[in-house]
Structure 1
Amino acid sequence: MRTDPITSIVAENLCTGCGACAGAFPNAIRMLEDPVNGRRPVVEDSDQGRKAAAEAVSICGGISADWSDLQIKDDIDANWGPTLSVWQGWAADPDIRRSGSSGGAVTALALFALENDQADGVAHISAREDDPRLNQAVVSRNKADLMRGTGSRYAQASPVEALGEIEAGNDRVAFIGKPCDVASLARARRARPNLKDKIPLSIAIFCAGAPNLQATDKLLDRLEVPKDAQLVDLRYRGNGWPGQMQATWIDDEGAQRSSKGISYAEGWGQILQSERRWRCRVCADHTGALADISVGDPWHTPPVGQTDEGQSLIVARTLRGQKLIQDAIRAGVLIATPQSRDVIERAQPNLKNTHGAVWGRVLAMRLVGISAPSAKGQRLFSMWLSLTPKQKLQSVLGTWKRILRERLWRRVSVSEGAK
């Protein structure tokens, strides 16, 4: 039986699939695409693999995220992480705005950093050309390459897998990822001092969880894409706000076909979210507190239709991030209006309760002897106390029901279902 710590983290359902371990030790750890459990690392069964796994634990954000060093000044910071300032706006470039999930702010800011000598590249994810159901970590160095990653990808992704390329090179590379990815990146920058100058900027995308490959295949069925079709594109968001979910494939005669489009509400609400992994359901940071900048949907001012011009909620977490946003606005790259710091709760009304419920879920797991992630420096217990009695009870009893239904005490064993 494998005894290395990374394999144990996977087996105990603590892995987020960020790819940090594989990125840091590419010769000993690789990411595997399990259709049910998601992208997960596999450690080489050798002394080299076990040594790499032992070192990789220090950069694993799956077992622990640490807010202890963050500047928490008031209740807003305690709930959402450092919130220096917030804007609502969009990319001035109409192509970026249109292609982005909401207002294109992530791409606009990353491109601004590239074009103003604040970064030499941008690490992010894009759809794999050979199989658009899957994602790959890439480093882009110009607008055309950066545009490969526009629009949400509601599928498993491992952007921190780019760590190896970043660490081996001399370039400064900005990073874009989910909050859990940024948590691993933060641990890597602490554990490996040479990364501090090589990763000058991190941008987190608000996230409600990553569905597995089975969910993507269910989505393709709903879009009525033939099972043996040659898929060439799969859009989850973008081309308007929030955009439609739609696929493109090549038929038997070589002609390109487009599927019907379904709404974001239908695709996410009825198909994708039910296949989020359990680790996502005990995530205590959906808005990227450990990043320099966080960007999400301003759902408090929702679009009227499915393909309206988009808007983004843009949160400065650090002085570095705040300056980049302000410079981008002054340069005309972003069109944005300042918002009150408490706007996140109005824009994402369910997330505060979700964070509070995590304390109850983790308690329920530990009471029956199941490993759970730690969230250092977060006030999850006080958030849990603010829930209604029914919500408190549900966070614990609901977790026990899920433990029984999904047999969460069983060790996870991954197998490759897509290459």
Structure 2
Amino acid sequence: MRFQLVVFLFVLFCAPVFAAKTYLVGGDKEAGKAAAEAAGAKWVKSLTKAFAKAANDLNGGENEVVVKLAAGDQNGDLGSGAYALPQFNNPSGSLTLIGGFDNAFAKRDPFGTPTVITTIADRSAPLWTFARNTKLKALVVDGLVWDATASNRYDAKTNSLLKGTSSTHVFIKLNYFETDLLEFRNNVFLNAPHRVIETLIRAATPQAEVRFINSIFLNCVIPLKLDSARFRNKPKKMVVDHCSFLLNWAYNPDPNTGNPCALEIGPKDAAGEIHITNSLFYANFGGAILALNQQMPGLTLNNNNIIGNGMLHGQSDADAVAMIVSAGGRKQPLGVDDLEDVPAVDEAEDNVSVLPGIPLALGEVKTVDASKIKVEKTWENAVNRILGRNVSGGTVAIKDYAPKKSYDPVNPPFATREGAKQYGASAANVK
């Protein structure tokens, strides 16, 4: 009995602790290798290699892999401007990617020393494409800047995005990835010409969650849709917390476009509930939140700053077009004070409309009403060239529709005014 007790205590206190398998990516090669050796990790040159090694580990039985990325550009598999991720098949495994380290992996500042997912002209795939039948317990993507500028085309005269000749692929294609946790934290999504992500995961269990935390969506066309794949489970909850939606654009610069808003809520089967809290919706051209489904998840909309989102609809009130719903057989824009009247909204408390103090240059935006195109004979550029669709008769000049913007790591687009700093993303929220 005494011998068995001694063996038990040895196993309990002396057996090795199995830490996460860790890879360091990029930065200075010698400094990176030294940092990896000191941490019991391994240095690799590219994100492609890190993905391959992580898949090999997780599929071989490892339950936790961490990939840390140095500041700098990651431009796809072999410079192709896109990543085809290997299949991960470990329902008990978790993969965490953490960007924003300095070249020696000594310090981290995801907004100040960013790891940038870049691309190339004529991109022919999403920035990340998940393999079919991927299964993980959790995927956390922390501290990346995603920028599609190189695969976009812009009109030289009007500075407008040319949707018809820009890449139409989304940033991230999940391919019905099966998981219990999908989380994006401390990310910046920039210049997306057609959606950043639609969260079409398969919920592994009824406790599954999707989270966007302390992230920025800047100058994107209809960037985010909260939805899920129809599967045996639906996610328990989707969370958008301390995120900033800044200067995002309608699918078309037309008040009658089907999808005008920065964030779209899926139908009732998308999730059990959706919480949008502590976030900033500022100067989104077509509105803040689109919620057209008659039946939706229970919505909690608390402590958000929603301001200046009515431009496309000709509404100049500060709190205009906080949400667009279906009512009376039409799309109905609602102000901040009307949110609690929406049947699906369980709570809408402490929302405000205050200037955040973020310098966004909007240019001279001109909206287009499709029913009036023929009478606008003085407008200069063809609608089908700018919007990528055929419109019979007439031309229009749409100045500064989704113009190219850059991300400045020295001066990230955080709220600076007192009374507004608590809304949206900020360096103080990095954990």
Q: TM-score, normalised by structure 2?
A: 0.24
The structure that is strand-richer by fraction is 2
Look at both structures and tell me which one has the larger radius of gyration over its CA atoms: 2
Greater relative contact order (CA < 8 Å, ≥ 6 in sequence): 1
Please state which structure has a larger fraction of its residues in helix: 1
TM score, norm. by length of structure 1: 0.24
